[in-house]
Amino acid sequence: MSSEKTTEVEIRRQIAQARRVVVKVGSSSLASAATGLDLARLASLVAVLAKRQLAGSEVILVTSGAIAAGLEPLGFTRRPHDLAQQQAAAAVGQGLLMTAYTQAFAEHGIRTAQILLTKEDLANKESYSNALRTFGALTRLAVLPVVNENDTVATQEIRFGDNDHLAALVAELVRANALVLLSDVDGLYTEHPGNPGAKRVSFVPAVSELTAEVHRPGSSGVGRGGMATKIGAAELAGAAGIPVGLARWDQAAAILAGEDVGTVFGAATKRWSRRHGWLAHAASAAGQLHIDHGAETALTTTAASLLAAGIAWVDGDFKAGDSVEVVSPAGVVIGRGVVAFDSAVLPTMLGRTHQSKPVIHRDDLVMAPTQGG
């Protein structure tokens, strides 16, 4: 994958001209625990997105707010910590949230469809493909997908963790031309925005070069994301070749038009395949292959496949076709790939130089960003 960097002007132009754009909006932009859904804000955002869709773009909305929308009807003053209560709030709020979107978009002549996802839905190859087909069918029918994490059933183990990460995965899944993250902050700052002297960072060529403070969470009491999750989403999308814009919810029109608001993030100039994107970011590893120094050198410096001769030992219970992690002698995960043999068979093959079929073919292997490949 190419590491060439693009300019800020080019990134903003790409966002403005994106044929397929994923837009994510956070809970704090749509609702509060005290008053529930802010229908005026929602309608304002919908008007911007509807205009973009009617102008010929394909818009996919990833929305938070189901739990937040359910708090006020249930009498909660803040987001509960108990998972069962969060799920109850989501069950109440999801219907309210989707009804509001359906009615608001209908005023612009746009039909919507609800898509609820858990981490498992994208980790499994079959359901990942099913999700892709669903998105494709909806966009071909000019239906605007409204995506949210399925908080009603999601447990801690199968949660994305935040909708910023979900939005980046959806953008990668549908091969979006741009990802826009909207929240209650107007971009990335050199330090906490409340501090004197804090300056907005308008362009981040590469997330690895960031020096700004990003770890302070929001204070709305209704969301679970923060600036750090948005940085992570920008890094994931950028690695997949997708330019990212970050802005306040009421700057949606401006950031989508390529204006100088918020923060935009550079993207790799060459996209990897959807299969490699799934391996790198969505697939759940069913086990680990611990390799020797020779195999590590071959994988990180050449386009070699992983052979049985280079595997020291195997961890986990997996089947041929599952995703597994490749671990260096130092214990560092250096890649992930689709294994060609069951875990029950592999131990009998280890160290055998005459075994010619790769355990992981190079076409089914994604190396970590700091490694080769």
- Which residues have C-beta within 8 Å of that of residue 143, sequence separation ≥ 6? 111, 112, 113
| Residue 136 confidence (pLDDT) | 95
Question: Rounded to the nearest 10 degrees, what angle do helices 163-173 and 227-239 cross at?
Answer: 10
The DSSP code for 259 is -
How many Å apart are CA 263 and CA 202, to the nearest integer?
4
Tell me yes or no: is domain 285-367 CATH 2.30.130.10. yes
Q: Distances in Å between the alpha carbon of 234 and those of 9, 81, 87? A: 17, 27, 28
Q: Over the range 124-147, which residues count as b (16 or more CB within 10 Å of their CB) and which as e? A: bbeebeebbeebeebbeeeebbbb
| Residue 69 confidence (pLDDT) | 86
Locate CATH 3.40.1160.10 in the chain: 8-276
Q: Which amino acid is at 226?
A: G
pLDDT tens track for 80-137: 888 888 888 888 989 999 999 999 999 999 999 999 988 778 877 788 889 999 999 9
Q: Which CATH number fits domain 8-276: 3.40.190.80, 3.10.150.10, 3.40.1160.10, 3.40.50.150?
A: 3.40.1160.10
| Residue 210 confidence (pLDDT) | 75
Question: Do the Cβ atoms of 67 and 100 come closer than 8 Å?
Answer: no
Locate CATH 2.30.130.10 in the chain: 285-367
**Residues 338, 339, 343, 347: is their CA dihedral positive or negative?**
negative
Its pTM stands at 0.79
Residue ranges of the chain with pLDDT lower than 70?
A: 1-5, 33, 151-161, 211-226, 271-274, 281-283, 353-354, 369-373
